[in-house]
Structures are given as structure tokens and as C-alpha cells.
Amino acid sequence: MLLGYNHNVTYKGEVFHIQTEDSGIKNPHIITLLYREGVILCSKKTSYADILKIDTLEAVVEDLMKEQHKEMMRRLKSGEFDERAFPDKQKAEPVTELKEEATISEPPVLVPSEPLATIDLLFQEPVVPAGSEQPAASPQKAPEPKKEEAVSLDAAILNFFGASK
């Protein structure tokens, strides 16, 4: 495990803290955090599990840490975090802990502009509301999809990456 990097950076009159650390070969990833007033504005986590066996691992990890640390500084200086860092000036939500890692959120609720009974879908016979006449010509119907055997999510992922059993 390598020693980390810590810098206080003044940007637009405010002090930001950038911290990068290595979690070691038992948990091989590099984490960089950007703070303002003790609140995390951004985090970036990079795994290096795929290069654990190389001879120059320590030097490579050190270079990865330096580059990730500098990248966070460049992103700060470019204004990428201004909305989160200066919510009063941007009329944004208060600064809260945000992470760059993907999160799953609720999908937006879509409200149709017209009743569903009158919406026609491509390659589907039109839906005709009760009491109205059939249209003269109807679009072609899509061929029936092939029935495939159900597989587990793990098997589908392995198959996608070409590592199926």
C-alpha cells in the first residue's frame, strides 16, 4: 500500500481538499475524494485488480494515483463542480454527498398526452377504441419472437463477456 496524496486547493476564494489513497493489494483500488467544508463533492474509484501480477506494480499504481489526483484538480479548476460547490451562487440544491459511481434511480413517470387506447405502435395492429370503425389498412405485424430458454442473470453476464460455461 502506497502513501496517499492530500492537497488543499484554493478555487474561487474557497479551500477544497483533494485526497487520493491506495487501498492495497487485498482491496486493489485507488480512491480520490474532493471535499469542501468537510462535505464530499465527488469521488472516483479505480480498480487495479487486473494488473496485480505485473513486476512494476508499485510504480504503476503510484502513477495511476498521481494521474487520478491531478485529474480531480483539473476537473475542479474547469468549473465542473461549481453548481455543487457554490449552491447559493448557482441557485441549486444544497451541497450533499455525491458519488460518481453509477446509481439506480426510479424511472421518470411518463404521462401520455392522449388516451392510451388511440396510440398505435410500430409493427402492431392499431388499437381501436370501442364503438369506432376498423381502419381501412393496418400496418404489418412483427414476426413472433423466438422462444429462448430462460437463463440466470449470472449466466447472461458471463455469456455477454464470452466466459460462459
Domain ranges of the chain: 5-90
pLDDT tens sequence across 57-96: 999 999 999 999 999 999 999 999 999 999 887 554 444 4
Question: Which residues does 37 contact at the CB level (< 8 Å), separation at least 6?
Answer: 95
pLDDT tens sequence across 4-47: 999 999 999 999 999 999 999 999 999 999 999 999 999 999 99
d(CA 97, CA 38): 10
Cell numbers at 39, concatenated: 462535505
Cα 132 off chain centre by: 47
d(CA 111, CA 114): 9
C-alpha count within 13 angstroms, C-beta hemisphere, residue 48: 26
Cell 483533494: give the residue.
18
